[in-house]
Structure 1
């Protein structure tokens, strides 16, 4: 039980604490709790993706290993989630 609790704490520590949103043409770093449905989130290269969403511009590779167990990054583009 102790190892499970420690593993959960470790996973929680990997989660982003803030999100960079675009509101009224301005970039704002806000706590995750303040992200609203419909917000545009801007993620720079190397940053953690803070919330679920759909890519509306650009493309990237995403490390989904914590979600899927797949060790190889997954390519994502417009329309992907």
Structure 2
């Protein structure tokens, strides 16, 4: 924003981005790991919120902002109620 100014800047800050053809095992890792049994280490005790957005929704939202020449900073996530991890 410093280089171009607020009037000419669009900054998109998405949550975890997921969608078709994802190959990062973001969701499937835990299911597969639990299937093997034994102790499973997790990054949280179940109270850490996780909000993600589908790539198609993110692309549509971004295109709309560009087409309408909207300048601002957006934190883009979904769903409204975060999933606890």
Q: TM-score range by the shorter chain?
A: under 0.3
Which structure has the highest strand share of the two? 2
Greater gyration radius: 2
TM-score (norm 2): 0.25
Q: TM-score, normalised by structure 1?
A: 0.26
Structure number with the bigger relative contact order (C-alpha 8 A, sep ≥ 6) is 2
